[in-house]
Amino acid sequence: MKLQIEISGRSRQVQIDPGEIPGVWNVRVDGEPVEADARLLRPGVLSLLIDRRSHRVVLDGDSSDPALYLGRERIAYRMEDPRSLRSRRRPTGAEGPAVLKASMPGRVVRVLVEKGQQVAAHQGIVVIEAMKMQNELKSPREGRVADVRAVPGATVASGEILATIE
């Protein structure tokens, strides 16, 4: 199979097919052949030998934010579907409505604004708390509060949208 993988801002093409010996793969990275002997020790844990160098690899993150530990090093990557490369969504720019996302998983302690309210840039919008640390999330820009999804006492995941400023 052919995969397009983005690591450290660079996209690499990886061609991977099972070899004759189970665990030994025929691999090409950007066309260059690589001798790779990979054994799955248990789900998400891999022993990878490349040209006799040994790597312990542990899968981390989730499908929306995949990463792996190569030895001690955490490396984020992105599996690109070659067919959908052009349709990749751009991050929301300054032109459209700005969304305020939770910077950490936690519980909503206070909501400091109301829907429809006019806010200044850097004005506090929501306070979330986790592990004895409170974090005040500030408006990315001046504008009007289009939507407040955060509800005091509710649990939010990291990256969850708490409010929209337009």
Residues binding another protein: what is the number (CB under 8 A)?
73
Q: Which of 20, 31, 42, 95 binds another protein (CB under 8 A)?
A: 42
Q: How far is the CB of 141 from another protein (least distance, A)?
A: 21
| d(C-alpha 105, C-alpha 136), whole Å | 13
Stretch that binds another protein, among 29-37, 93-101, 118-126, 142-150 (CB under 8 A): 29-37
Which residue's CB is nearer to another protein, number 10 or number 83? 10
**Backbone phi, psi, residue 84, to 5°:** -110, 20
Encoding tokens for residue 54?
């040994």
Q: Which of 99, 109, 130, 146 binds another protein (CB under 8 A)?
A: 130
* Under rule CB under 8 A, residue 20 binds another protein: no
| d(C-alpha 126, C-alpha 69), whole Å | 33
Q: Which of 64, 83, 93, 114 binds another protein (CB under 8 A)?
A: 64
> What is the residue whose two structure tokens read 């337009």?
166
* Under rule CB under 8 A, residue 53 binds another protein: yes
DSSP string, 108-139: EEEE---TT-EE-TT-EEEEEEETTEEEEEE-
* Under rule CB under 8 A, residue 154 binds another protein: yes
Stretch that binds another protein, among 59-67, 84-92, 110-118, 141-149 (CB under 8 A): 59-67
Residues 79 to 118 in contact with another protein, rule: CB under 8 A? 79, 103-107
Candidates 43, 9, 3, 58; CA nearest to 25 is 3
Do 119 and 125 contact (CB within 8 A), yes or no?
yes
